[in-house]
Amino acid sequence: MTKILVPVKRVAALEDDFRIREDGRDVDPDDLNHDLNEWDTFSLEQAVLIKEAASSEVQVVAATVGPEECDEVLRACLAKGADRALRVWDEAIAGSDPIAIARILAGVARREEPALVLAGAQSSDHGQATTGIALSAALDWPHVAVVTGLKYGAGDARATVTRELEGGVMQDVDVACPAVLTIQLGINKPRYASLRAIKQAAGKPIEVLGLGELGLAGDQVGEAGSASRVRRMAIPERGRAQMIEGTAQQKAARLAQIIREFRAA
């Protein structure tokens, strides 16, 4: 059996009016809407397409890191064709940055032993485009980022991948499996879940794993296991934008002046 692991994320979107949390490090949760990350809908669809085209058994496993509220995005994945859903959570995970999240997902990958990991190229809330690449480093697996095309059959030892480079340039890459691919928007057309599939997904089990089951300690996740943390968030002041006119040299000189004035303030 071939397994494909699809890490997914429950992302946050701001309401029209929102407040910064009292500690200044995030938005008040009451002012957020949540949904499955858009990029992850494309990576999930690609995994399901591989399964549907296969002549042998393929299992698509959707996985996320987060508290019980994240079950809603896993059920959305089950409704769209995932075979299993699992969630990793422990209170020690709170505050994890993308590197720590990748460390957790690497534990999931070692446990599941997939032939491919198909992750979204980035998330629509933070947009750091870090987790998938850090996951490949944690596993010491080859990776290809910003994938816009994929030729892979279940059980193949290699995959042919088209990736997007700067300036609209495309490059074909041959990669050995297992590998981590981060999927770009537009690689396919994600399906809508039918009402019947949604009802069936509501009754399917979601596996919940703790750190111990992945061989991880509390100091490897959360702020203790993170390379970065949010110190402060602020709503930008309005009306401070300005257009800088002139030649390239004049624009550079004016920009340098603005930076000096800002640092002196």
Amino acid at 179: A
Helix/strand number for the chain, H first, E second: 6, 11
Q: Which two tokens stand for residue 72?
A: 């809603």
Q: What is the DSSP letter of 35?
A: E
C-alpha 150/C-alpha 181 separation (Å) is: 9
**What is the arithmetic mean of pLDDT over 203-211?**
96
**What is the arithmetic mean of pLDDT over 134-154?**
97
Neighbours of 157 (CB within 10 A): 8
**What is the arithmetic mean of pLDDT over 213-229?**
92
Mean pLDDT over each residue of the chain, to the nearest integer: 94
pLDDT the model gives residue 21: 86
pLDDT band at 233 (very low <50, low <70, confident <90, very high): confident
pLDDT the model gives residue 231: 86
What is the tens place of the pLDDT at every residue in 146-199? 999 999 999 999 999 999 998 889 999 999 999 999 999 999 999 999 999 999
Lowest mean pLDDT among 141-150, 191-200, 229-238: 229-238
**Where is pLDDT greater, at 132 or 262?**
132
What is the tens place of the pLDDT at every residue in 101-119? 999 999 999 999 999 999 9
Highest mean pLDDT of the ranges 12-16, 183-187, 226-230: 183-187
**What is the arithmetic mean of pLDDT over 29-46?**
93
- Does pTM surpass 0.95? no
Residue 191 vs residues 12, 23, 159, 194: alpha-carbon distances, Å: 22, 40, 24, 9
pLDDT the model gives residue 205: 96
**What is the arithmetic mean of pLDDT over 142-147?**
97
Phi/psi at 122 (nearest 5 deg)? -165, 175
C-alpha 50/C-alpha 151 separation (Å) is: 9
pLDDT the model gives residue 68: 96
Neighbours of 108 (CB within 10 A): 23
Neighbours of 17 (CB within 10 A): 6
**What is the arithmetic mean of pLDDT over 65-82?**
97
Neighbours of 9 (CB within 10 A): 25
Under 8 Å CB-to-CB from 145, ≥6 apart: which residues?
A: 121, 129, 132, 133, 163, 181, 182
**What is the arithmetic mean of pLDDT over 68-94?**
97
pLDDT the model gives residue 199: 96
Lowest mean pLDDT among 19-28, 69-78, 205-214, 237-246: 237-246
Residue 250 vs residues 3, 146, 246, 255, 256: alpha-carbon distances, Å: 57, 36, 6, 9, 10
Beta carbons of 121 and 146 less than 8 angstroms apart: yes
The proportion of the chain whose per-residue pLDDT surpasses 70, expressed as a percent, equals 99
**What is the arithmetic mean of pLDDT over 232-250?**
84
The string over 56-82, giving b where at least 16 C-beta atoms fall within 10 Å of a residue's C-beta and e elsewhere, is eebbbbbbbbbeeebbebbbbbbbbbb
Residue 21 vs residues 123, 198, 234: alpha-carbon distances, Å: 22, 34, 10
Looking at the predicted structure, is the pLDDT value of residue 37 above 70? yes
Q: Which two tokens stand for residue 30?
A: 């009451």
pLDDT band at 265 (very low <50, low <70, confident <90, very high): low
Beta carbons of 39 and 121 less than 8 angstroms apart: yes
Beta carbons of 123 and 11 less than 8 angstroms apart: yes
